[in-house]
Amino acid sequence: MRTIDKPSPTSGETTDSAVEAQMDAPTPGHFGPYGGQFAPETLMVALRELEEIYEQAKNDDAFKAELSALLRDFAGRPTPLLFAERLTAHFGGAKIFLKREDLLHTGAHKINNTLGQALLARRMKKPRLIAETGAGQHGVATATVAARFGFRCDVYMGEEDTQRQALNVFRMRLLGAKVIPVTSGSQTLKDATNEAMRDWVTNVRDTHYIIGSVVGPHPFPAMVRDFHAITGQEARKQFQEVTGKLPDACVACVGGGSNAMGLFYPFIEDVGVQLIGVEAAGDGLNSGRHAAPLNRGSRGVLHGSLSYIMQDAAGQITPTHSISAGLDYPGVGPEHAHMKDTGRAQYVAVTDAEALEAFQLLCKLEGIIPALESSHALAYLETLARELGPDKTILVNLSGRGDKDVNTVQSFLQNEPRMNTDEHR
């Protein structure tokens, strides 16, 4: 073995031209300063392959036709737009319309993305899919497409989440996926994502990692957004058909931010349409127990991209809390970070208690059991509908159904009997 001299500062191989070459290197996947590719070297070639395959596929009529057919026949698109008559009357303000992503196969918007990425994995000839999941909806949607196309499938889920979303764990197992409980760190979505990344680094040659939100290194944030943009495209058309105009505001919950990005994206150029993302304030934004990086976080890199994250001054990721496992995440998609900075979208937050109240309200007034995640979007309607007034309209992404959450809600209401009153009848 050769001996290594102490690498002196001047012995570096880097030349001026090398640095210039780096300066000229493309920096794909940026939204303003946010996004990028902060990934271990082992993944870099796979990320480029994914980017190339996706670029080909999105301009390929055969790919688009196959995805459309699957979204229609397998997932159940288009989803309806529903005027929430009694909810509107209850608040006495703006007219509220619900985009019914809760009616999709598997019970949430997540299937839009997993179908698209499964087709890409098949193009890349990768026989195995992995995913991270918080609430279990993305895990179920991944397990579902794995079953449909014959992929092997492993899903990483925080141990705490496997308990609060036990029903979804069983669904994934029924669908043939292996659910791997993650016991490291906070045992929630962040740690499940860490473990999925570690698996991917190890098995990247035969495995595609279906990231479940508009997060991660490029090309994931833009690609996942594109697969979910069908929500906003349909809703925009439906809304015009029903009302003759565009909504005054679009509202969606934001954890990683995929359902919000999917709803917002086709409205970005419609400057008259206010875009409002609702984060999880947990016990309150000032309690230190929340999951609201856009409201209370700062710039940093988590899971491969620069965005707003929850961290301490030294850049260590701080624990989060939300009653909703799907929103209990310290990061957010980089495009949301950019839209916050530019002012194109506003980001507010509602507490666990407010989300639970909205959950019950939708059950009782509209006959729809919403997911706890989506209940965060609903919880902001009281404020917004009154603020806008009866002449205005609001489009809400009802991103998922709440069957998975009934146990959580039940135990919460037993502990807080005050909330189980009839005040909303």
Partner 1 sequence: MPFVTCGDPDLESTRALLLAYIEAGADIVEVGIPFTDPLADGPTIQRANERALRGGTTMEDALGLIADVRRQTDTPLIPMTYINPVYQVGYDRFAARCAEAGADGVIISDLPPEAGREWIEAGRRYGVDTIFLLAPTSDEARIRRVAEASSGFIYAVARMGVTGARTDAPPEIGALIERIRKHSDTPICAGFGFSSASQIAQTCRDTSVDGIIVGAALIDRLENTSGSNEERSLPPPPSHAS
Active site residues: 110, 132, 399
Interface with partner 1 includes 181 (CB under 8 A)? no
**Binder to partner 1 among 33, 272, 315, 390 (CB under 8 A)?**
315
Other C-beta atoms within 10 Å of 64: how many? 12
Q: Which of residues 26-45 bind partner 1 (CB under 8 A)?
A: 26-27, 36-45
Cβ atoms 57, 119 nearer than 8 A: yes
- Provide the mask over 203-242, with x wherever binding to partner 1 is found by CB under 8 A and - wherever it is not: xxx-------------------------------------
Contact between 415 and partner 1 (CB under 8 A)?
no
Q: H helices of 126-257, where?
A: 137-149, 159-164, 166-174, 189-203, 220-243
Q: Smaller CB distance to partner 1: residue 43 or 140?
A: 43
Neighbours of 86 (CB within 10 A): 13
How many residues sit close enough to partner 1 to count as binding (CB under 8 A)? 58
User: Which residue in 125, 313, 414, 422 binds partner 1 (CB under 8 A)?
Assistant: 313
CA distances from 351 to 88, 130, 327, 331, 400 (A): 21, 32, 12, 18, 19
| Residue among 32, 76, 78, 300 that touches partner 1 (CB under 8 A) | 300
Q: Which of 173, 198, 237, 424 binds partner 1 (CB under 8 A)?
A: 198
Which of residues 106, 117, 168, 194 is near partner 1 by CB under 8 A?
194
Q: How are strands ordered across the β-sheet holding 128-133?
A: 178-182, 152-158, 128-133, 207-209
Which of 116/217 has CB closer to partner 1? Answer: 217
The tokens describing 57, both together, are 């596929």
End-to-end CA distance of the chain: 80
Closest by CA position to 113, among listed 256, 224, 258: 224
Cβ atoms of residues 124 and 208 within 8 Å: yes
What's the one-letter identity of residue 324?
S
* Residue 246 contacts partner 1 per CB under 8 A: no
Which tokens in the block code for residue 128? Answer: 């195995």
What is the spatial distance between Cα 280 and Cα 301, in angstroms, rounded to a whole number? 20
Residue from 147, 167, 246, 301 that binds partner 1 (CB under 8 A)? 301
Under rule CB under 8 A, residue 131 binds partner 1: no
CA separation for the pair 118, 152 (Å, rounded): 11
Q: How far is CA 32 from CA 24, 54, 340, 382, in A?
A: 18, 22, 11, 33
Taking the complex as a whole, how short is the minimal distance between the CB of residue 24 and partner 1, in angstroms? Answer: 10
314 binds partner 1 (CB under 8 A): yes
Minimal distance in Å, beta carbon 224 to partner 1? 19
Closest distance to partner 1 from the beta carbon of 126 (Å): 13
CB-wise, 43 or 409, nearer to partner 1? 43
**144, 258, 259, 311: residue in contact with partner 1 (rule CB under 8 A):** 311
- Decide: is 125 part of the binding site for partner 1 (CB under 8 A): no
Q: Does 201 bind partner 1 (CB under 8 A)?
A: yes
Q: Alpha helices of 25-60 — where are they, by DSSP H?
A: 41-58
Rounded CA separation 187/156 (Å): 10
Q: Does 317 interact with partner 1 (rule: CB under 8 A)?
A: yes
The reply to whether 1 sits near partner 1 by the rule CB under 8 A is yes
| Of 110 and 290, CB closest to partner 1 | 290
- Report d(CA 297, CA 34) in Å as an integer: 14
Q: Which of residues 37-96 bind partner 1 (CB under 8 A)?
A: 37-46
How far apart CA 304 and CA 77 sit, in angstroms, is 31
Residue 168 corresponds to which tokens in the numbers above?
A: 């979804």
* Contact residue for partner 1 among 115, 197, 250, 260 (CB under 8 A): 197
DSSP summary character for residue 73: I
| Candidate ranges 63-71, 144-152, 158-166, 189-197; the one touching partner 1 (CB under 8 A) | 189-197
* Least Å from the CB of residue 302 to partner 1: 7
Residues that bind partner 1 (CB under 8 A): 1-4, 6-15, 18-19, 21-23, 25-27, 36-46, 184-185, 190, 194, 197-198, 201-205, 299-304, 306, 309, 311, 313-317
